[in-house]
Amino acid sequence: MPIVTEIETRLRAAFAPTALDVVDESEKHRGHAGHTEAGESHFQVSITAAAFGPMTRIARHRAIHAAIGPDIMGRIHALGIDVRAQ
């Protein structure tokens, strides 16, 4: 299963977002640190969910990392995050 699909599945299960967009931006990073020819190294997540309302910015990022899990986080080089509460 592609990493982008794994990330989407885990974030939907953890936060029931009203908006979620996960983009593999690996090709934009060709020649930079962490890029591999196989891709799936750099991702951008935009997510909106009510669960983020009471959280600080750092708590939101930590929650996203935890939901994605160390197994996926260990396989990617970079994760950009845009989080919004409803």
Instruction: Please state whether beta strands 19-24 and 42-48 pair in parallel, antiparallel, or not at all (unpaired).
Output: antiparallel
Return the CATH number of the domain spanning residue range 3-84.
Answer: 3.30.300.90
Q: Residue ranges per domain, the chain?
A: 3-84
pLDDT score at 9: 98
**For 33-45, b where at least 16 C-beta lie within 10 A, e where not — what string?**
eebeeebbbbbeb
Output the tens digit of pLDDT for each of the chain's 86 residues. 899 999 999 999 999 999 999 999 887 756 666 556 666 888 999 999 999 999 999 999 999 999 999 999 999 989 999 999 98
The whole-model pTM stands at 0.88
pLDDT score at 33: 62
